[in-house]
Amino acid sequence: MRYISTRGQAPALNFEEVLLAGLASDGGLYVPENLPRFTQEEIASWAGLPYHELAYRVMRPFVTGSIPDADFKKILEETYAVFSHDAVAPLRQLNGNEWVLELFHGPTLAFKDFALQLLGRLLDYVLEKRGERVVIIGATSGDTGSAAIEGCKHCENVDIFILHPHNRVSEVQRRQMTTLFGENIHNIAIEGNFDDCQEMVKASFADQSFLKGTRLVAVNSINWARIMAQIVYYFHASLQLGGPARSVSFSVPTGNFGDIFAGYLARNMGLPINQLIVATNRNDILHRFMSGNQYVKQTLHATLSPSMDIMVSSNFERLLFDMHGRNGAALADLMETFKQGGGFSVDDERWTETRKLFDSLAVDDAQTCETIAEVFAQSGELLDPHTAIGVKAARECRRSLDIPMVILGTAHPVKFPEAVEKAGVGKALELPAHLSDLFERDERCTVLANDLKAVQAFVSQHGNRGKPL
């Protein structure tokens, strides 16, 4: 399988190279040159497979040529064995033909574990073979950091540095990062905000001289391997609800458009999907595009669903690429227009075509809390604020009651106690068994000034399992 850039200029890469790459050298994102397509018979024959076996069948074509089948199988078996629910991604019924796909039974209680548990293992496998080491520097406002650290903590060949804004992440989220120890794990609290952290990561990718030749790898959702891992659970949910004979719809709490883009790919790979709903919070650039063909940057608002607080949606470029007939030059122009003026619309026909599959809704904090309370009263299920936004959007945008509607349950409610409290459901939140002593554990974290040079000096001092690079 070969991967090409959405901006058409960077060289095509194989899977192994794309795993180790961040942005393409032309500023674009990597996508498969040709998407694999499965027949209905093939998909139907996967019904009842354990999650890791299904994952093997769905993802195998993407890694062919880079990872031998037997090795890939073993990696997947190990990856999904760490999930605490036997079904890995169980479906729970909320209402008539309405389901939540629980993606929060991984080590850090959010769906990001599905991809980052796999990414860590894939990196270690590939690096071992090449005899190389890499450094990861990532910025987090919460979920990504802990999932990335959990995913990489056993990696022999990876040193991971996660930057979070000092005193600006929730206590659960901070502790999920800072209580994980290892000589290759480094938590840095920056005296600044999330944007400051993200800027430092970008600047470090742009000039890597401080790494003395060690390669820098991206763990944010622009990494293709993350998208790839998320395709699997769309097949998994559909197969349990009568697919592929029957079509299924999905509502996806969305920020950077990684998770829902995986659903779009599942459909293009042959899975019958009737409708994909983009559910956003008040940071609604994607809703404004889907409802009015305006992709325009606005200011950032802090919400009760912080993992969806974005101004620009990085993976949306991957959909735009397909919308423009995979014309890299056209995309490069469009993204330049966006950079210059902060917005664009696309041709009417392209937008109308996209809307055949996608619907959208923006849900504010008050509606989020109302939905948490409403669902709790109806079914006794306690939703996290991100999932609640997905439920609200599903109920508003649903096209057919006969088609099963699956809402992606992206996080466990215990991660976001503020929203649950505001919803006033009066149910105590309990940490799952493997995290029950989280608040008693020791923490390890370095506080650094909001200063790129200081951060880079820290990385080069500790980037080789705690020793200098």
Ligand X SMILES: *Cc1c(COP(=O)(O)O)cnc(C)c1O
Q: Is 194 in the site for ligand X (CB under 6 A)?
A: no
Q: Are 116 and 264 in contact (CB under 8 A)?
A: no
Candidates 71-79, 123-131, 179-187, 253-261; binding stretch for ligand X (CB under 6 A): 253-261
Please report how close the Cβ of residue 304 comes to ligand X at its closest, in angstroms: 12
Looking only at residues 395 through 414 of this chain, which bind ligand X when binding is defined by CB under 6 A?
410-411
Q: Are 137 and 201 in contact (CB under 8 A)?
A: yes
Q: Is 63 in the site for ligand X (CB under 6 A)?
A: no
Please report how close the Cβ of residue 419 comes to ligand X at its closest, in angstroms: 11
**Which residues, including other chains, have CB under 8 Å from residue 232's CB and lie 6 or more apart?**
51, 54, 55, 58, 59, 114
x/- mask, ligand X, residues 306-345, rule CB under 6 A, reads: -xx-------------------------------------
Please report how close the Cβ of residue 256 comes to ligand X at its closest, in angstroms: 3
Number of chain residues interacting with ligand X (CB under 6 A): 16
User: Whole-angstrom distance between the N-terminal and C-terminal Cα of the chain?
Assistant: 33
Looking only at residues 126 through 165 of this chain, which bind ligand X when binding is defined by CB under 6 A?
143
Looking only at residues 379 through 398 of this chain, which bind ligand X when binding is defined by CB under 6 A?
386
Q: Are 304 and 385 in contact (CB under 8 A)?
A: yes
Please report how close the Cβ of residue 343 comes to ligand X at its closest, in angstroms: 20
Please report how close the Cβ of residue 95 comes to ligand X at its closest, in angstroms: 21
Q: Is 89 in the site for ligand X (CB under 6 A)?
A: no
**Which residues, including other chains, have CB under 8 Å from residue 455's CB and lie 6 or more apart?**
163, 188, 190, 200, 204, 448
Q: Where are the beta strands (DSSP E) in 229-301?
A: 248-253, 273-280, 295-296
Candidates 145, 244, 255, 263; binder of ligand X (CB under 6 A) is 255
Residue 39, burial from CB neighbour count under 10 angstroms (0-12, 13-18, 19+):
exposed
Candidates 43-51, 231-239, 257-265, 339-347; binding stretch for ligand X (CB under 6 A): 257-265
Q: Where are the beta strands (DSSP E) in 254-401?
A: 273-280, 295-296, 343-344, 358-362
Nearer to ligand X, 278 or 405 (CB): 278
The Cα-based distances of 318 to 32, 66, 223 in angstroms read 10, 23, 12
Would you state the structure tokens that stand for residue 161, as one six-digit string?
């540095």
Residue 188: beta bridge partners? Answer: 163, 446
- DSSP H or E run through 196: helix 194-206
Nearer to ligand X, 259 or 381 (CB): 259
x/- mask, ligand X, residues 419-448, rule CB under 6 A, reads: ------------------------------
Angle at 222 between CA 218 and CA 228, to 5 degrees: 105
Which residues are part of the catalytic machinery?
A: 112
Candidates 26-34, 79-87, 152-160, 247-255; binding stretch for ligand X (CB under 6 A): 247-255
Residues found near ligand X in the complex (CB under 6 A): 110, 112, 143, 221, 253-259, 307-308, 386, 410-411
